[in-house]
Amino acid sequence: MTIRFKPDETFREDFRYANSEAAILRFPFPFAEDKYMYSVNIEPHVRGGPTEAFQAAFDIDEHYVAECRERALVLEQDPNRCIVLPHMMPAQWDTLELIMESLAHDYPEHFQLARDRQRWTWTNRPLGIEDSFIFGDPTTLPYEPFEYITRQAQGDYTLQDQRDNNLYVDGGMVTTQADWSLEFNAGMSFHEWHGPVPLAHEMGVFDRALQFLLRLQYGKPVRRLNWTMTVNPRLDTSPENYPIWGPDRTTITRRNVGGKLHLRVELQTLFRLPRSNGILFGIRCYLASIDELARVPKWGRRLHRVLRDIHPDLEAYKGLNRYRQIALDHLAAFDDGEPTSPGI
């Protein structure tokens, strides 16, 4: 499938960003019912799913080229957004292999991988890259293997090492995050890095999720959806840059809310890695304004109900307090009060 990329989009300052009709219809809308609460919402990451975003191992869409440029900008200003601890080198090569093979398989018109024993040639047409290198020899690439390939991938990635019956976040490329810091979290265990999340610890969500992940098998990846809201189509909502984007939360008005307030959905994927026995965690971020989403009537209706009834602790954690009522007043126009059926 040929994707028509939009290379001039921006995710800062003038925010030249919008979703085409097709991009709205493929959006991974996260609510299967009219209410939302945390759960261990993990399912097999197989082809198929309610929209086209679930068809590839690593989904690429019209925003790919612009998102890679945005990542390069963030890294130029803050190289510590990519950190990999030294013992994770086997996991770096695992990641490079997995992403290259998957992209070449799922999008052959855009990406190609030619392998001659250890000598590999990688072609990335949308970004105009062609490199030959020796698999296993980092000196033959312009960056370490994990940074090399995640600079060419949409979404954030973290690398988990498995030891002592736990997972440790010992690496990552994190430039499009919903208000958490890789530099702060690096080296933490599963429960430690989830420390700030309300309610889910008491519900046993993290105990069960960790037990499940420790048994994750090679070749059987899983996925889950997470969501929050972001003012403006801004990818880099990091704690490091809070002074830049935090004040945006006060700029939502009745006039601008439909186009300015975005639902931010993370399609999260987890892959067991073959050599390192680590886990690759992909966090693929999708942004759509609430007016774009409301073009699909059942989504507008459902978003209204989910936001109306959200638990106050989740509202506070996700930072929705300042504009939730304005969003509700706007979305009420899309809610005819009719009952909805379960499913996206």
Tokens of 150: 């995640």
Closest approach of ligand HEM to the CB of residue 226, in Å: 5
Binding mask 264-303 for ligand HEM (x = CB under 6 A): ---------------x-x----------------------
Contact 305, 265 (CB under 8 A): no
Closest CA to 205 of 226, 219, 221, 180: 226
Nearer to ligand HEM, 107 or 271 (CB): 271
Single residue of 262, 272, 318, 324 touching ligand HEM by CB under 6 A: 318
Interface with ligand HEM, residue 173, by CB under 6 A: no
49 closest CA partner among 33, 34, 64, 27: 27
Pick the catalytic residue from 224, 249, 295, 308.
224
Q: How far is the CB of 67 from ligand HEM (least distance, A)?
A: 20
Q: Name the residue nearer to ligand HEM (CB basis): 281 or 286.
A: 281
By CB under 6 A, the count of residues binding ligand HEM is 24
Q: Taking CB under 6 A as the criterion, which residues in 140-159 touch ligand HEM?
A: 158
Q: Is 205 in the site for ligand HEM (CB under 6 A)?
A: yes
- Whichever of 5 and 54 has its CB closer to ligand HEM, that residue is 54
- Is 71 a catalytic site residue? no
Q: Is 160 in the site for ligand HEM (CB under 6 A)?
A: yes
Tell me the window of 61-69, 104-112, 222-230, 289-297 that interacts with ligand HEM (CB under 6 A). Answer: 222-230
Task: Enter the tokens of residue 169.
Answer: 């976040």
Q: Does 188 bind ligand HEM (CB under 6 A)?
A: no
- Between CA 147 and CA 152 the distance in angstroms is 9
Exactly one of 191, 224, 295, 308 binds ligand HEM (CB under 6 A); which one?
224
237 binds ligand HEM (CB under 6 A): no
Residue from 127, 186, 209, 267 in contact with ligand HEM (CB under 6 A): 209
Q: Which of 3, 73, 104, 197 binds ligand HEM (CB under 6 A)?
A: 197
Residue choice 27, 29, 148, 193 for contact with ligand HEM (CB under 6 A) = 193
List contacts with ligand HEM (CB under 6 A): 38, 40, 42, 158, 160, 167, 169, 180, 185, 193-194, 196-197, 200, 205, 209, 213, 224, 226, 228, 279, 281, 317-318
Q: Give the active site residues.
A: 224
